[in-house]
């Protein structure tokens, strides 16, 4: 990883709501972690959008807690950091899957917005393969109105969509394997279909400041990965110490259903239940 000007990083993030093209891994290390994921797929099945994969696989836990990653996260949300969720987002070549314009924090039920997401490319994410696009500065005014739009190609669990976005304002966030982007939970973003010849594989990681809490239930989970947690609002996730331990896999399924119940409850509260 090349040297980073942390002041410039903070300034860009605060102004735009995201930073992109940050070197995290070498291409060879990105390939190693991609291979680990595809090996796990052969045993587990489809890993796309499986939540809390850092509790059942060692590779995503290693990536989410890399010191150079946490150094960046600390610049953005402070020194006391919870790891909330880790999931793979995969678009197969020729897939029509897309992600509509949305804001991550809309459906997560958190008390504050001191949160940042990392999207780490394990294969090249280009405009052709459906990389993310973001609207600079869209984070500053908080939550936008979302509508539920039914489209079977939309990757989002609820089909939540912000309409009326000016596409001309979007910045294309292409990444080489081993690069990452970091974005605020109110930053408007989307991605298109994969017209490329390779899988578009990203690892999506959400980090929270420790003073954040879940407002939808008292049993949500997270993991302290830097600093101290004097609040203890979340039950503790258990990091994977081996791959696909049956007890860990069973718990991961429970945690995923709990997350989906939070999304549904928030959708109903916002009057967007379909």
Instruction: Give residue-wise pLDDT tens across range 202-220.
Output: 999 999 999 999 998 888 9
Within 8 A by CB and 6+ apart from 164, the residues are: none
Q: Is residue 186 situated within a structural domain?
A: yes
pLDDT at 274: 43
pLDDT in tens, 41-53: 999 999 999 999 9
pLDDT in tens, 123-146: 999 999 999 999 999 999 888 878
Range of the domain at 239: 6-269
Looking at every residue in the chain, the average pLDDT score rounds to: 91
Per-residue confidence band for 14, with pLDDT thresholds at 50, 70 and 90? very high
Average pLDDT of the residues in 65-90: 97
Measuring CA to CA, which residue among 11, 92, 103, 18 is closest to residue 48? 92
CATH number (domain holding residue 187): 2.60.120.620
How far apart (Å, rounded) are the C-alpha atoms in residues 237 and 228?
15
How many structural domains are present in the chain? 1
Q: Is residue 1 situated within a structural domain?
A: no
pLDDT(236) > 60: yes
Q: Is residue 91 situated within a structural domain?
A: yes
Average pLDDT of the residues in 29-34: 98
Q: Is residue 138 situated within a structural domain?
A: yes
Q: Is residue 112 situated within a structural domain?
A: yes
Per-residue confidence band for 156, with pLDDT thresholds at 50, 70 and 90? low
pTM: 0.92
The full DSSP string for 68-83 is HHHHHHHHHH-S-EEE
pLDDT(1) > 50: no
Average pLDDT of the residues in 91-100: 87
Average pLDDT of the residues in 225-253: 97
pLDDT at 142: 84
Q: Is residue 170 situated within a structural domain?
A: yes
- Cβ–Cβ under 8 Å, residues 182 and 117: yes
Q: Is residue 246 situated within a structural domain?
A: yes
């Amino acid at each position: 990883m090349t040297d980073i000007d942390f002041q410039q990083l903070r300034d860009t993030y605060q102004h735009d709501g995201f930073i992109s093209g940050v070197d995290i891994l070498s291409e060879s290390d990105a390939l190693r972690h991609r291979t680990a994921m595809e090996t796990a797929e052969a045993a587990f099945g489809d890993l796309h959008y499986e939540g809390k994969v850092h509790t059942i696989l060692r590779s995503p836990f290693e990536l989410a807690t890399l010191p150079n990653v946490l150094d960046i996260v600390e610049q953005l949300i402070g020194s006391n950091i919870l790891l909330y969720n880790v999931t793979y987002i995969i678009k197969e070549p020729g897939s029509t899957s897309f992600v509509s314009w949305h804001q991550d924090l809309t459906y997560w039920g958190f008390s504050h917005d001191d949160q940042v997401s990392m999207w780490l490319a394990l294969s090249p994410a280009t405009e052709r393969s459906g990389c993310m696009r973001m609207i600079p500065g869209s984070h500053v005014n908080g939550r936008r109105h979302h509508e539920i739009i039914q489209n079977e190609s939309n990757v989002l669990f609820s089909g939540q969509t912000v309409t009326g976005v000016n596409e001309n304002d979007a910045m294309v966030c292409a990444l080489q394997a081993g690069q990452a982007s970091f974005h605020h939970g109110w930053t408007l973003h989307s991605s298109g279909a994969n017209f490329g010849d390779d899988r578009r594989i990203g690892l999506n990681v959400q980090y929270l400041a420790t003073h954040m809490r879940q407002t939808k239930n008292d049993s949500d989970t997270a993991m302290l990965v830097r600093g101290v947690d004097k609040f203890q609002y979340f039950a503790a996730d258990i990091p994977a110490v081996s791959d696909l331990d049956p007890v860990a896999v069973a718990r991961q399924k429970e945690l995923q259903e709990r997350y989906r119940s939070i999304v549904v409850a928030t959708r109903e509260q916002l009057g967007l239940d379909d």
